[in-house]
Amino acid sequence: MNPREPDSTCMNRDDAAAYVLGALEHDEHERFREHLAGCAQCRAEVAELQPVVDELPASVPATTAPKEMRARILVTVRSEAQLLDAAGVGADRPAKSARPWYRRNDFVLGVTAAASAGVAALVAVLIAVGGSSHTKVVPGEGIGTARTAEVSLTRRDGHSELVVRRMPQPALGRIYEVWLKRGESEPQPTNALFSVTNGGSGAVDVPSLHGVKEVLVTSEPTGGSLHPTSAPVIRVALGSA
Amino acid sequence: MPLLRRSSVNSKEKLRKLADEELMERVADCDADAFEVVLERHADAAFSLAYRICGRRSVAEDIAQESFLALWRSGARYDRARGSVRTWTLGIVHNRAIDALRRSGTHDRRRASDEGIEETLEAPERTEDQAVENAVSSEIRGALGELPSDQRKVIELAYFGGFTHTEIASMLDTPVGTVKGRMRLGLQKLRSQLQGWQAVSG
Protein backbone atom coordinates (compact mmCIF):
# COMPACT_ATOMS: atom_id res chain seq x y z
CA MET A 1 0.00 0.00 0.00
CA ASN A 2 1.17 3.50 -0.77
CA PRO A 3 1.57 5.92 2.10
CA ARG A 4 -1.52 8.09 2.50
CA GLU A 5 -2.52 11.27 4.19
CA PRO A 6 -3.94 10.42 7.63
CA ASP A 7 -7.46 11.55 6.71
CA SER A 8 -7.56 10.34 3.13
CA THR A 9 -10.02 7.56 2.38
CA CYS A 10 -8.53 4.16 1.63
CA MET A 11 -9.73 2.96 -1.75
CA ASN A 12 -10.34 -0.51 -0.23
CA ARG A 13 -12.65 0.79 2.46
CA ASP A 14 -15.84 -0.47 0.77
CA ASP A 15 -14.35 -3.96 0.81
CA ALA A 16 -14.62 -3.97 4.63
CA ALA A 17 -18.42 -4.33 4.57
CA ALA A 18 -18.32 -7.13 1.99
CA TYR A 19 -15.52 -8.75 4.02
CA VAL A 20 -17.45 -8.88 7.31
CA LEU A 21 -20.52 -10.18 5.43
CA GLY A 22 -18.36 -12.95 3.92
CA ALA A 23 -19.24 -11.66 0.44
CA LEU A 24 -15.77 -11.19 -1.07
CA GLU A 25 -14.58 -13.77 -3.59
CA HIS A 26 -12.07 -16.18 -2.07
CA ASP A 27 -8.92 -14.53 -3.50
CA GLU A 28 -10.24 -11.04 -2.71
CA HIS A 29 -10.93 -12.17 0.84
CA GLU A 30 -7.34 -13.31 1.29
CA ARG A 31 -5.95 -10.11 -0.29
CA PHE A 32 -8.11 -7.92 1.93
CA ARG A 33 -6.98 -9.84 5.00
CA GLU A 34 -3.37 -9.13 4.11
CA HIS A 35 -4.27 -5.48 3.43
CA LEU A 36 -5.82 -5.21 6.91
CA ALA A 37 -2.46 -5.85 8.53
CA GLY A 38 -1.13 -2.61 7.07
CA CYS A 39 -4.21 -0.35 7.02
CA ALA A 40 -5.48 1.08 10.30
CA GLN A 41 -8.43 2.72 8.56
CA CYS A 42 -9.77 -0.59 7.20
CA ARG A 43 -9.08 -2.29 10.54
CA ALA A 44 -11.17 0.35 12.26
CA GLU A 45 -13.93 -0.11 9.68
CA VAL A 46 -13.97 -3.88 10.23
CA ALA A 47 -13.96 -3.41 14.01
CA GLU A 48 -16.97 -1.11 13.64
CA LEU A 49 -19.01 -3.31 11.33
CA GLN A 50 -18.23 -6.82 12.64
CA PRO A 51 -20.40 -6.42 15.79
CA VAL A 52 -23.33 -5.44 13.55
CA VAL A 53 -22.94 -8.63 11.51
CA ASP A 54 -22.61 -10.61 14.77
CA GLU A 55 -26.12 -9.40 15.69
CA LEU A 56 -27.74 -10.47 12.40
CA PRO A 57 -28.57 -14.01 13.66
CA ALA A 58 -30.88 -12.39 16.22
CA SER A 59 -33.08 -11.14 13.37
CA VAL A 60 -33.99 -14.73 12.46
CA PRO A 61 -37.44 -16.02 13.50
CA ALA A 62 -37.02 -18.18 16.61
CA THR A 63 -37.60 -21.89 16.02
CA THR A 64 -37.28 -24.57 18.69
CA ALA A 65 -34.48 -27.04 18.03
CA PRO A 66 -35.75 -30.64 17.68
CA LYS A 67 -35.46 -32.66 20.90
CA GLU A 68 -34.00 -35.60 18.96
CA MET A 69 -31.16 -33.37 17.73
CA ARG A 70 -30.25 -32.37 21.29
CA ALA A 71 -30.46 -36.00 22.37
CA ARG A 72 -28.16 -37.15 19.55
CA ILE A 73 -25.60 -34.45 20.37
CA LEU A 74 -25.60 -35.39 24.05
CA VAL A 75 -25.27 -39.11 23.33
CA THR A 76 -22.10 -38.41 21.35
CA VAL A 77 -20.70 -35.91 23.84
CA ARG A 78 -21.32 -38.20 26.81
CA SER A 79 -19.83 -41.21 25.08
CA GLU A 80 -16.71 -39.23 24.13
CA ALA A 81 -16.44 -37.83 27.67
CA GLN A 82 -16.72 -41.37 29.05
CA LEU A 83 -14.05 -42.65 26.68
CA LEU A 84 -11.70 -39.92 27.86
CA ASP A 85 -12.66 -40.52 31.45
CA ALA A 86 -12.11 -44.27 31.08
CA ALA A 87 -8.62 -43.50 29.84
CA GLY A 88 -7.89 -42.04 33.25
CA VAL A 89 -7.24 -38.48 32.13
CA GLY A 90 -8.82 -37.09 35.29
CA ALA A 91 -6.31 -38.81 37.53
CA ASP A 92 -3.22 -37.04 36.30
CA ARG A 93 -4.50 -33.86 34.71
CA PRO A 94 -1.66 -31.52 33.80
CA ALA A 95 -1.33 -28.01 35.21
CA LYS A 96 -4.04 -25.59 34.07
CA SER A 97 -1.77 -23.64 31.75
CA ALA A 98 -0.50 -26.70 29.92
CA ARG A 99 -2.55 -28.11 27.10
CA PRO A 100 -4.03 -31.42 28.21
CA TRP A 101 -2.73 -34.33 26.15
CA TYR A 102 -6.24 -35.41 25.15
CA ARG A 103 -6.87 -31.97 23.65
CA ARG A 104 -3.87 -32.18 21.39
CA ASN A 105 -4.98 -32.21 17.79
CA ASP A 106 -3.50 -35.60 17.07
CA PHE A 107 -5.51 -37.23 19.82
CA VAL A 108 -8.80 -35.52 18.98
CA LEU A 109 -8.27 -36.29 15.31
CA GLY A 110 -7.49 -39.84 16.28
CA VAL A 111 -10.74 -40.24 18.19
CA THR A 112 -12.72 -38.62 15.39
CA ALA A 113 -11.05 -40.64 12.68
CA ALA A 114 -11.38 -43.84 14.65
CA ALA A 115 -15.04 -43.15 15.34
CA SER A 116 -15.80 -42.46 11.70
CA ALA A 117 -13.82 -45.49 10.58
CA GLY A 118 -15.87 -47.57 12.96
CA VAL A 119 -13.01 -48.86 15.05
CA ALA A 120 -14.90 -50.29 17.98
CA ALA A 121 -11.66 -51.63 19.36
CA LEU A 122 -10.88 -48.09 20.47
CA VAL A 123 -13.21 -48.66 23.39
CA ALA A 124 -11.23 -51.63 24.56
CA VAL A 125 -7.91 -49.85 24.06
CA LEU A 126 -8.93 -46.81 26.06
CA ILE A 127 -10.41 -48.86 28.84
CA ALA A 128 -7.27 -50.95 28.97
CA VAL A 129 -5.34 -47.72 29.49
CA GLY A 130 -7.69 -46.98 32.38
CA GLY A 131 -6.35 -50.12 33.96
CA SER A 132 -9.49 -51.41 35.68
CA SER A 133 -9.19 -55.11 36.35
CA HIS A 134 -13.01 -55.45 36.38
CA THR A 135 -13.54 -54.24 32.82
CA LYS A 136 -14.86 -56.67 30.26
CA VAL A 137 -15.63 -55.83 26.66
CA VAL A 138 -18.03 -58.13 24.83
CA PRO A 139 -18.33 -57.67 21.06
CA GLY A 140 -21.79 -57.80 19.50
CA GLU A 141 -23.15 -58.02 15.97
CA GLY A 142 -25.27 -55.79 13.76
CA ILE A 143 -28.11 -57.50 11.88
CA GLY A 144 -30.12 -56.54 8.76
CA THR A 145 -30.18 -52.77 8.24
CA ALA A 146 -27.51 -52.43 10.95
CA ARG A 147 -25.17 -55.11 9.59
CA THR A 148 -22.39 -52.53 9.11
CA ALA A 149 -22.53 -51.57 12.80
CA GLU A 150 -19.62 -52.12 15.17
CA VAL A 151 -21.05 -53.10 18.52
CA SER A 152 -19.51 -53.61 21.93
CA LEU A 153 -20.82 -54.00 25.43
CA THR A 154 -18.47 -52.85 28.16
CA ARG A 155 -18.99 -54.07 31.71
CA ARG A 156 -17.13 -52.36 34.47
CA ASP A 157 -17.70 -52.57 38.23
CA GLY A 158 -21.32 -53.69 37.85
CA HIS A 159 -22.06 -51.00 35.26
CA SER A 160 -22.73 -51.85 31.62
CA GLU A 161 -22.74 -49.68 28.53
CA LEU A 162 -23.57 -50.49 24.94
CA VAL A 163 -21.44 -48.55 22.43
CA VAL A 164 -22.18 -48.55 18.69
CA ARG A 165 -20.38 -47.15 15.65
CA ARG A 166 -21.46 -47.00 12.00
CA MET A 167 -25.05 -47.64 13.01
CA PRO A 168 -27.79 -46.26 10.69
CA GLN A 169 -30.04 -43.62 12.25
CA PRO A 170 -33.48 -44.87 13.31
CA ALA A 171 -36.30 -43.86 10.95
CA LEU A 172 -38.20 -40.66 11.64
CA GLY A 173 -40.32 -40.96 14.78
CA ARG A 174 -38.47 -44.07 15.97
CA ILE A 175 -35.73 -44.78 18.46
CA TYR A 176 -33.51 -47.75 19.37
CA GLU A 177 -34.54 -49.72 22.44
CA VAL A 178 -32.44 -52.21 24.40
CA TRP A 179 -34.02 -55.56 25.42
CA LEU A 180 -32.71 -58.19 27.82
CA LYS A 181 -33.29 -61.88 27.11
CA ARG A 182 -33.03 -64.35 29.98
CA GLY A 183 -33.27 -68.03 29.05
CA GLU A 184 -36.07 -68.85 26.63
CA SER A 185 -38.52 -66.17 27.83
CA GLU A 186 -39.57 -63.20 25.72
CA PRO A 187 -37.11 -60.28 25.71
CA GLN A 188 -37.82 -57.83 28.54
CA PRO A 189 -38.06 -54.11 27.78
CA THR A 190 -35.66 -51.61 29.38
CA ASN A 191 -35.64 -47.84 29.72
CA ALA A 192 -32.41 -47.77 27.68
CA LEU A 193 -33.44 -45.83 24.56
CA PHE A 194 -30.92 -44.22 22.24
CA SER A 195 -30.28 -42.66 18.89
CA VAL A 196 -27.04 -42.19 16.98
CA THR A 197 -25.17 -39.28 15.42
CA ASN A 198 -24.98 -38.71 11.68
CA GLY A 199 -21.71 -40.59 11.82
CA GLY A 200 -23.55 -43.53 13.38
CA SER A 201 -22.07 -43.29 16.89
CA GLY A 202 -24.07 -43.82 20.05
CA ALA A 203 -23.85 -45.14 23.59
CA VAL A 204 -26.37 -46.07 26.24
CA ASP A 205 -26.29 -47.35 29.81
CA VAL A 206 -27.74 -50.85 30.12
CA PRO A 207 -29.50 -52.05 33.32
CA SER A 208 -28.32 -54.97 35.41
CA LEU A 209 -27.31 -57.96 33.30
CA HIS A 210 -27.84 -60.54 36.03
CA GLY A 211 -28.93 -63.80 34.40
CA VAL A 212 -29.07 -62.22 30.95
CA LYS A 213 -28.12 -64.42 27.98
CA GLU A 214 -28.61 -61.89 25.20
CA VAL A 215 -28.79 -58.11 24.86
CA LEU A 216 -30.93 -57.13 21.85
CA VAL A 217 -31.74 -53.80 20.21
CA THR A 218 -34.81 -53.07 18.08
CA SER A 219 -36.18 -49.97 16.40
CA GLU A 220 -39.33 -48.79 18.24
CA PRO A 221 -41.68 -45.82 18.15
CA THR A 222 -40.28 -42.83 20.10
CA GLY A 223 -40.94 -43.44 23.79
CA GLY A 224 -40.21 -47.15 23.54
CA SER A 225 -42.40 -50.28 23.55
CA LEU A 226 -43.32 -52.96 26.08
CA HIS A 227 -43.07 -55.70 23.45
CA PRO A 228 -40.70 -55.64 20.46
CA THR A 229 -42.47 -54.44 17.31
CA SER A 230 -39.60 -55.19 14.92
CA ALA A 231 -36.78 -57.67 14.46
CA PRO A 232 -33.52 -57.11 16.38
CA VAL A 233 -30.84 -55.02 14.64
CA ILE A 234 -28.18 -55.72 17.29
CA ARG A 235 -27.39 -58.85 19.27
CA VAL A 236 -24.79 -59.28 21.99
CA ALA A 237 -24.51 -62.84 23.27
CA LEU A 238 -23.34 -63.18 26.87
CA GLY A 239 -22.02 -66.24 28.59
CA SER A 240 -23.77 -67.25 31.82
CA ALA A 241 -23.95 -63.89 33.58
CA MET B 1 -38.15 -44.34 33.74
CA PRO B 2 -34.56 -43.47 34.57
CA LEU B 3 -33.95 -42.33 38.13
CA LEU B 4 -32.08 -39.05 38.37
CA ARG B 5 -29.39 -38.99 40.99
CA ARG B 6 -29.87 -36.07 43.36
CA SER B 7 -26.21 -35.09 43.20
CA SER B 8 -26.38 -34.83 39.43
CA VAL B 9 -29.53 -32.69 39.64
CA ASN B 10 -27.86 -30.39 42.15
CA SER B 11 -24.71 -29.99 40.13
CA LYS B 12 -26.79 -29.25 37.02
CA GLU B 13 -28.56 -26.47 38.95
CA LYS B 14 -25.20 -25.01 39.98
CA LEU B 15 -23.95 -25.16 36.40
CA ARG B 16 -27.04 -23.31 35.18
CA LYS B 17 -26.01 -20.34 37.35
CA LEU B 18 -22.63 -20.03 35.64
CA ALA B 19 -21.88 -17.62 32.80
CA ASP B 20 -21.22 -19.09 29.36
CA GLU B 21 -17.53 -18.25 29.59
CA GLU B 22 -17.17 -20.15 32.87
CA LEU B 23 -19.00 -23.12 31.37
CA MET B 24 -16.62 -23.13 28.41
CA GLU B 25 -13.65 -23.44 30.77
CA ARG B 26 -15.25 -26.67 32.00
CA VAL B 27 -16.06 -27.80 28.47
CA ALA B 28 -12.36 -27.39 27.68
CA ASP B 29 -11.80 -29.94 30.47
CA CYS B 30 -14.31 -32.32 28.83
CA ASP B 31 -17.17 -31.64 31.29
CA ALA B 32 -20.22 -33.03 29.48
CA ASP B 33 -22.67 -31.55 32.03
CA ALA B 34 -21.30 -28.05 31.43
CA PHE B 35 -21.62 -28.64 27.70
CA GLU B 36 -25.25 -29.68 28.16
CA VAL B 37 -26.03 -26.29 29.73
CA VAL B 38 -24.31 -24.47 26.83
CA LEU B 39 -26.38 -26.60 24.45
CA GLU B 40 -29.62 -25.78 26.35
CA ARG B 41 -28.90 -22.08 26.06
CA HIS B 42 -27.95 -21.87 22.41
CA ALA B 43 -29.51 -24.84 20.58
CA ASP B 44 -32.60 -22.90 19.51
CA ALA B 45 -30.61 -19.93 18.17
CA ALA B 46 -28.20 -22.24 16.33
CA PHE B 47 -30.99 -24.30 14.78
CA SER B 48 -32.99 -21.17 13.86
CA LEU B 49 -30.00 -19.61 12.08
CA ALA B 50 -29.19 -22.82 10.19
CA TYR B 51 -32.85 -23.19 9.24
CA ARG B 52 -33.08 -19.58 8.04
CA ILE B 53 -30.04 -20.11 5.80
CA CYS B 54 -30.79 -23.62 4.49
CA GLY B 55 -34.59 -23.62 4.57
CA ARG B 56 -34.81 -27.35 5.30
CA ARG B 57 -35.23 -28.81 8.76
CA SER B 58 -33.17 -31.94 8.11
CA VAL B 59 -30.22 -29.96 6.75
CA ALA B 60 -30.51 -27.41 9.56
CA GLU B 61 -30.45 -30.24 12.13
CA ASP B 62 -27.31 -31.72 10.61
CA ILE B 63 -25.57 -28.34 10.57
CA ALA B 64 -26.52 -27.43 14.14
CA GLN B 65 -25.49 -30.90 15.32
CA GLU B 66 -22.09 -30.76 13.57
CA SER B 67 -21.53 -27.24 14.91
CA PHE B 68 -22.17 -28.21 18.53
CA LEU B 69 -19.94 -31.27 18.22
CA ALA B 70 -17.22 -29.01 16.78
CA LEU B 71 -17.76 -26.69 19.76
CA TRP B 72 -17.40 -29.64 22.14
CA ARG B 73 -14.28 -30.99 20.47
CA SER B 74 -12.58 -27.60 20.13
CA GLY B 75 -13.74 -26.13 23.43
CA ALA B 76 -10.16 -25.41 24.47
CA ARG B 77 -9.78 -23.01 21.55
CA TYR B 78 -12.55 -20.67 22.74
CA ASP B 79 -11.10 -17.28 23.64
CA ARG B 80 -13.43 -14.99 25.57
CA ALA B 81 -11.43 -11.95 24.45
CA ARG B 82 -12.69 -12.54 20.93
CA GLY B 83 -16.41 -12.42 21.67
CA SER B 84 -19.25 -14.14 23.50
CA VAL B 85 -19.86 -17.88 23.43
CA ARG B 86 -23.09 -17.19 21.55
CA THR B 87 -21.32 -15.18 18.84
CA TRP B 88 -18.65 -17.86 18.54
CA THR B 89 -21.22 -20.66 18.30
CA LEU B 90 -23.37 -18.85 15.75
CA GLY B 91 -20.23 -18.01 13.76
CA ILE B 92 -19.52 -21.76 13.44
CA VAL B 93 -23.14 -22.41 12.44
CA HIS B 94 -23.09 -19.60 9.87
CA ASN B 95 -19.88 -20.82 8.23
CA ARG B 96 -21.11 -24.40 7.99
CA ALA B 97 -24.56 -23.42 6.78
CA ILE B 98 -23.16 -21.18 4.04
CA ASP B 99 -20.72 -23.93 3.00
CA ALA B 100 -23.63 -26.38 2.75
CA LEU B 101 -25.67 -23.87 0.78
CA ARG B 102 -22.84 -23.20 -1.66
CA ARG B 103 -22.38 -26.93 -2.19
CA SER B 104 -26.10 -27.49 -2.72
CA GLY B 105 -26.46 -25.38 -5.89
CA THR B 106 -28.36 -22.35 -7.05
CA HIS B 107 -31.92 -23.52 -6.56
CA ASP B 108 -31.72 -23.86 -2.79
CA ARG B 109 -29.67 -20.70 -2.47
CA ARG B 110 -32.29 -18.64 -4.25
CA ARG B 111 -34.97 -20.15 -2.06
CA ALA B 112 -33.02 -19.41 1.13
CA SER B 113 -32.57 -15.78 0.23
CA ASP B 114 -36.08 -15.16 -1.06
CA GLU B 115 -37.87 -12.34 0.63
CA GLY B 116 -40.82 -13.57 2.64
CA ILE B 117 -39.23 -16.85 3.66
CA GLU B 118 -40.33 -16.12 7.20
CA GLU B 119 -43.85 -17.10 6.19
CA THR B 120 -42.64 -20.60 5.43
CA LEU B 121 -41.00 -21.03 8.83
CA GLU B 122 -42.95 -22.64 11.62
CA ALA B 123 -44.59 -20.57 14.31
CA PRO B 124 -42.01 -19.82 16.99
CA GLU B 125 -42.35 -21.48 20.37
CA ARG B 126 -41.13 -19.10 23.00
CA THR B 127 -40.55 -19.28 26.70
CA GLU B 128 -40.40 -16.48 29.24
CA ASP B 129 -36.63 -16.91 29.51
CA GLN B 130 -36.39 -15.70 25.96
CA ALA B 131 -38.17 -12.41 26.67
CA VAL B 132 -35.00 -10.32 26.66
CA GLU B 133 -33.67 -12.14 23.65
CA ASN B 134 -36.93 -11.50 21.84
CA ALA B 135 -36.63 -7.80 22.57
CA VAL B 136 -33.19 -7.77 20.95
CA SER B 137 -34.50 -9.79 18.02
CA SER B 138 -37.42 -7.52 17.36
CA GLU B 139 -35.11 -4.52 17.61
CA ILE B 140 -32.79 -5.94 14.96
CA ARG B 141 -35.65 -7.04 12.74
CA GLY B 142 -37.08 -3.54 13.09
CA ALA B 143 -33.74 -1.94 12.23
CA LEU B 144 -33.36 -4.18 9.18
CA GLY B 145 -36.91 -3.37 8.13
CA GLU B 146 -36.21 0.34 8.25
CA LEU B 147 -33.26 0.10 5.87
CA PRO B 148 -33.84 1.15 2.27
CA SER B 149 -34.80 -2.08 0.51
CA ASP B 150 -31.80 -2.05 -1.86
CA GLN B 151 -29.44 -1.97 1.15
CA ARG B 152 -31.36 -4.62 3.09
CA LYS B 153 -31.44 -6.87 0.07
CA VAL B 154 -27.67 -6.94 -0.50
CA ILE B 155 -27.04 -7.61 3.20
CA GLU B 156 -29.55 -10.48 3.29
CA LEU B 157 -28.35 -11.99 0.03
CA ALA B 158 -24.78 -11.97 1.31
CA TYR B 159 -25.30 -13.05 4.92
CA PHE B 160 -28.24 -15.46 4.63
CA GLY B 161 -27.91 -16.40 0.96
CA GLY B 162 -24.14 -16.91 0.84
CA PHE B 163 -23.80 -14.92 -2.38
CA THR B 164 -20.61 -13.02 -3.17
CA HIS B 165 -20.77 -9.36 -4.12
CA THR B 166 -20.09 -10.18 -7.79
CA GLU B 167 -22.95 -12.71 -7.84
CA ILE B 168 -25.27 -10.16 -6.24
CA ALA B 169 -24.19 -7.52 -8.75
CA SER B 170 -25.07 -9.77 -11.68
CA MET B 171 -28.37 -10.91 -10.08
CA LEU B 172 -29.46 -7.31 -9.53
CA ASP B 173 -27.83 -6.06 -12.73
CA THR B 174 -25.98 -3.44 -10.68
CA PRO B 175 -22.29 -2.42 -10.76
CA VAL B 176 -20.06 -4.22 -8.25
CA GLY B 177 -18.99 -0.94 -6.65
CA THR B 178 -22.62 -0.02 -6.02
CA VAL B 179 -23.30 -3.36 -4.31
CA LYS B 180 -20.33 -2.91 -1.97
CA GLY B 181 -21.39 0.67 -1.26
CA ARG B 182 -24.92 -0.47 -0.35
CA MET B 183 -23.52 -3.11 1.98
CA ARG B 184 -21.43 -0.49 3.75
CA LEU B 185 -24.21 2.09 4.00
CA GLY B 186 -26.68 -0.53 5.23
CA LEU B 187 -24.34 -1.86 7.93
CA GLN B 188 -23.44 1.68 9.04
CA LYS B 189 -27.14 2.53 9.42
CA LEU B 190 -27.82 -0.66 11.36
CA ARG B 191 -24.91 0.16 13.60
CA SER B 192 -26.16 3.62 14.48
CA GLN B 193 -29.69 2.34 15.07
CA LEU B 194 -28.50 -0.46 17.36
CA GLN B 195 -26.19 1.91 19.21
CA GLY B 196 -29.07 4.31 19.73
CA TRP B 197 -31.21 1.48 21.10
CA GLN B 198 -28.43 0.27 23.42
CA ALA B 199 -27.91 3.79 24.73
CA VAL B 200 -31.62 4.02 25.62
CA SER B 201 -31.98 0.55 27.10
CA GLY B 202 -28.59 0.33 28.82
Nearest to B172 by CA among B94, B104, B113, B99: B113
Question: Model confidence at A39, in pLDDT bands (50, 70, 90)?
Answer: very high
Residues 49-68 of A with CB under 8 A from B: 49, 51-66
Using the Cβ of B184 and the Cβ atoms of chain A, whether some distance falls under 8 Å is answered with: yes
Burial class (CB in 10 A: 0-12, 13-18, 19+), A235: middle
Reported as a single tens digit per residue, the pLDDT across B87-113 is 999 999 999 999 988 887 654 555 545
Check: CB of residue B189 under 8 Å from CB of residue A17.
Answer: no
Mean of pLDDT values over A56-85: 88
Residue from the list B36, B122, B136 with its beta carbon closest to the beta carbon of A74:
B36
> Of the spans A85-99, A143-157, B29-43, which averages the highest pLDDT?
B29-43
Tell me how far apart the alpha carbons of residues A168 and B182 are, in angstroms, rounded to a whole number.
47
Count how many pairs of residues, chain A against chain B, have C-beta atoms within 8 Å: 173
Q: Which residues pair with A141 in a beta bridge?
A: A150, A235
Structure confidence at residue B9 (pLDDT): 58
Which positions ≥6 away from B61 have C-beta within 8 Å? A65, A66, A69, B47, B50
Residue B132 pLDDT class (50, 70, 90 cuts): low
- What is the DSSP-derived secondary structure letter of residue A66? P
A63 to B29: CB separation less than 8 angstroms, yes or no = no
CA–CA dist A33, A30 (Å, integer): 5
pLDDT at B200: 55
Band of pLDDT at residue A56, cut at 50, 70 and 90? very high
- Kindly determine whether residue A17 and residue B187, on different chains, have CB atoms separated by under 8 Å: yes
Residue A198's pLDDT band (cuts 50, 70, 90): confident
Is A109's pLDDT higher than 60? Answer: no
Instruction: For residue B33, give the chain A residue with the closest CA.
Output: A78
CB-based contact A62 B87, cutoff 8 Å: no
Number of other CB atoms surrounding residue A108 within 10 Å: 16
Interface of A with B in 129-188 (CB under 8 A): none
- Distance from the Cα of B41 to chain A's closest Cα (Å) equals 11
**In the prediction, which pLDDT does B101 show?**
86
| Mean pLDDT along residues A214-231 | 87
Beta bridge partners of A161: A154, A205
Q: Which of A23, A54, A100 lies nearest to residue B87, judging by beta carbons?
A: A54
Who among A48, A64, A99 is closest to B191 (CB)? A48
Say whether pLDDT at A24 is over 50.
yes
Rounded to whole angstroms, the Cα distance separating A70 from B37 reads: 11
Let me know: does A91 contact A99? Beta carbons within 8 Å: no
Would an 8 Å CB–CB cutoff place A124 in contact with chain B?
no
Q: Find the distance separating the first CA and the last CA of chain A, reported in whole Å.
A: 76
Helix B32-54 with B85-104: angle, nearest 10 deg: 40
Residue A162 sits at the vertex; the CA angle it makes with A156 and A163, to the nearest 5 degrees, is: 110
For residue A141, the distance in angstroms to the closest alpha carbon of chain B comes to 26
Amino acid identity of A191?
N
| Residues of A whose CB is below 8 A from B140 | 55-56, 58-59
**Is residue A219 exposed (0-12), middle (13-18) or buried (19+ Cβ within 10 Å)?**
buried
Please provide the average confidence, as pLDDT, over all residues in chain B: 82
Please tell me the predicted confidence (pLDDT) of residue B103: 82
pLDDT digits (tens, 9 = 90+) for A180-193: 998 888 888 888 88
In the predicted model, is pLDDT for residue A117 greater than 80?
no
Nearest Cα of chain B lies from the Cα of A188 at a distance, in angstroms, of: 14
Can you tell me the ipTM of this complex?
0.84
> Does pLDDT of A108 surpass 70?
no
pLDDT at site B109: 55
Neighbours of B192 (CB within 10 A): 11
Collapsed DSSP state (helix, strand, coil) of residue A153: strand
Q: What is the mean pLDDT of residues B130-149?
A: 81
- Picking from A201, A241, A191, the residue whose alpha carbon sits closest to that of residue A76 is A201
Q: List the beta strands (DSSP E) in A90-183.
A: 136-142, 150-156, 159-165, 174-181
